[in-house]
Every structure is written in C-alpha cells, then in structure tokens.
Structure 1
C-alpha cells in the first residue's frame, strides 16, 4: 500500500512578474471555470450515461500592497516615463485665487525659499513667498490675501524632483510570466508556481486616501502557451512542492 502523505498548507512567498519582484503580495488565487455536458441515461434507473467537463477559462488574481508605478502600470495598462531632476525657468502657470496653480513637474521641496521664484507675465514684479503664495510639490497655493489675481499668468522658476510618471490606460494590455517563489509555512518546505502566460485586466478600483495600509487587486486570464508541446506538461501553469 502506498504511503499516505498529508500536507497542511499556509502559503507565503515572493511574486515575480517577468522577473521583477512586485513586493508585498497577498491573496494569490486561481479561479478555474468549467462547463459540463451530460448525456442522460435512457436505459432505466435515471441519472446520466456519460458526461464531459471542459475547462472554459483559467484566471489568476492577486492583491498588491506595493504602490510602485511599475505595479500600477500593470494594473492600469499604463506606461512609466522617467523625468530627470533639473531646473525649470519661466514656466507659464495660471493663478487660481485661493487654490492651486499647478506646475508641469514636481517641485523639489528641499529648499523652496531659495529655488522658487514667481514673477508676473512681464517679469517686472516678483511675488513674495509666504505673502502671495505658498509652495507645494504640485505647484503654488495662491493666497487670497496676496497680490496675485485670479487668472493671472505667472512666470515660475523652480527646481524639479526626479520622478517616474505613470500614464494610465494608454496600453492595450500585455502578457507576462508569473513565478511564485514560495514556502509552505505549515511545513517549512519550498513551493514554486510558474504561470506561463498571464494577461491582467485593468483593476476595478484604486484607493488613494485611506486610514490604513492600502492594497489594490489585479485580475487576469491565464492563457494557454502553445510552445509547450510535451506530453503531460501543462500549457497554463505548474506547481512544484519539495518532498523532503
């Protein structure tokens, strides 16, 4: 008689997408949908005489806690552009009285008192920080008690931060390879899962302000990999678990 092996499972691990570590990740799940066709038994006694079950779709979902732009690009079918740190001279900015006059790039807040200069459109008047405006990373907060008028065009000099910028929903979606380098915490044994082709769909929600650590979910279909032709090898995914 073959030895019975019982293995409880508590999963954890690192998820790699195209070799990139996506950071802290929870609730990695497969969902397999199937369709069954049955032939009734007409020979007496009821029930079915035959049945066939076909897999109609394989889906993979995961919940990510790492809000990197690389992860968000995957969840939002976006691209990430790199903006180098530098200096901006005489950028045209339209004032919003009592509100935010946004700049094109993120302002470096290291020393805005000396690196930010705001003038009128003719460069004849230099406005005073703390009196006419305040500086934020997103631009200038125009003070209603100052001399800047609503709708006025300003010339703004500032140092900009080096950033990576996510442009959301500009791609049609791409296929990626997913590998879970995991461990069964119940036994201490390593477990790996390899998904050959995963096409994530845009996330259905993204929280930007919260009282606790935020997460976002990504779902997508696992597609058949037709390059895998060996008998007994899955075109969808495989799972390896250490035996000792």
Structure 2
C-alpha cells in the first residue's frame, strides 16, 4: 500500500489571459517537465532585552510574495506570445503586385519581406520582365540574389502564403490566471493549483538553434487579489486542492 504522506506529481499547466480583470478561456501550455512555486517573505526580528540573553522572541512578517517558474517544451502560438512578450497576428495569403524593392546590386541578398511565395515575377524600371536566369530566388523564405546589376528600381509581383506573425517584446506586463491540473502518481489523488493573477517576467531566452529538443524557461510573480482577503477558504494569491476520485 502506498504511503499517502509522500507525493509524486505530474500534470498540465493552463493559462488564461486576463482581460479587464476577467480571465479569458484557459488554454493548455502542454508539456512542462519542470514547474514550481516559491514563497518568499521579508521579516523583522525582535530580541528581548529583559534577561540579558538578547533572545529572539518575535518575528514580524512585513511582506509576502509567491513566484512561479517552470519550463515549456511546446511552442504553440499562445506559448510563443508568453515567451516573447508579444502578440500573434494571423496574416492571410495575399496577391502582391508591382512591389518596389529599389535598385539592386549583383550578388547582394534582398529580403522581399514576404514568405512562402509563388508565381514570382520581376520587372525592371521599363516594366520589362527580368528573366529567371538573372536571379536566384528562395521562394520559401522570400529572398532573392541577382546575378547582375539591374538598371533602375526593380519591382516584383507574387502570391504570398498565409502565416502567423508573433511580435517581440511589445506586450510586456500581461496578466494571467493559472490553473494546474495534476495527479499524484503514487496514490492517484488529484491536485489542483489556482493562482488568481500572475505576471510573467519578460526576461527570457529563445534559442534559435538546438542540438536537442527545445525548451524555454518561464518565471512569474503572483499578484494579490485583495477581493478574497476576507474569505477564510481562499487566499489572496491562490490555493492548492487535493482530493480523491472514487471509482
């Protein structure tokens, strides 16, 4: 029989972005091989002065904080927003016509600014088509290298495929509601953690080259929901619940 006083947890983290103080739909973060909370305090010690022993006889806890940290392994659109402190934009496919890329130099790579291109055609300043033997096109990534200089500004037309764009570090300070749905793998008990308000740190690293599976660290601080301060069954930061499910 398992010892009910020991525990081994697994589970899944869910996040809901707070909008005007109200949580949106909870979305799963996916595989999180590491996840923990940490409680910190700031205190002042008091020492008695009656006995000559200067013994500590009281501790005043002045500030309390709750932090959360972990590792994300799945890079969904929502996770990427969290990691990069950005916003995701769905950009539909589009027909591009006569986009001016200016004067080109032989051997210089040009970023056309669009990806997943098809039906690409270039024209010179006289609207004469530039034949494909005069350039090397990477239609997937949207770059081109001309083999020879072209007189005057060059224009191109193409069809650009749909894509998801996530901006970087322009959405710092978003708040989230956290729900962790866990299971004690020893006893089968369920464990649920709720944090009412969490702000994640924008300080992070996003590896662009990996030798193994990618993983990304997240760190955040729980903020108090003072509306729950007088509720004896809740906490201003959140709580953990443990229960058994009968068959």
- Give TM-score scaled by structure 2 length: 0.83
| Paired position in structure 1 for 2:237 | 236
Q: Tell me if the contact between 1:40 and 1:46 (Cα under 8 Å) persists in the aligned partners.
A: yes
Q: 1:9 aligns with which of 7, 10, 13?
A: 7
Rounded Cα–Cα distance in structure 1 between residues aligned with 2:148 and 2:193: 63
Rounded Cα–Cα distance in structure 1 between residues aligned with 2:75 and 2:137: 28
Q: 1:107 aligns with which of 110, 113, 116?
A: 116
> How many angstroms does 1:74 deviate by?
1.8
Q: Residue 154 and residue 237 in structure 1: after superposition, are their counterparts in 2 closer, same or farther (change >3 A)?
A: same
Q: Tell me if the contact between 2:188 and 2:244 (Cα under 8 Å) persists in the aligned partners.
A: no
Rounded Cα–Cα distance in structure 2 between residues aligned with 1:169 and 1:162: 23
Rounded Cα–Cα distance in structure 1 between residues aligned with 2:242 and 2:208: 38
SS in 2 for 1:22: strand
| Paired position in structure 1 for 2:218 | 218
Give yes or no for the alignment of 1:51 onto 2:59: yes
Structure 2 unaligned runs (5+)? 17-25
Q: 2:122 aligns with which of 111, 118, 122?
A: 118
> How many angstroms does 1:152 deviate by?
6.5
| Paired position in structure 2 for 1:157 | 157
Q: Tell me if the contact between 1:195 and 1:222 (Cα under 8 Å) persists in the aligned partners.
A: yes
- Give TM-score scaled by structure 1 length: 0.84
> How many angstroms does 1:221 deviate by?
1.1
Q: Deviations over 1:103-157 (max 9, x none)?
A: 222124xxx4xx222222332132306x5212243322315xx2345x9643222
Rounded Cα–Cα distance in structure 2 between residues aligned with 1:140 and 1:49: 72
> How many angstroms does 1:93 deviate by?
2.5
Q: RMSD of the alignment, in Å?
A: 2.3
> How many angstroms does 1:193 deviate by?
0.7
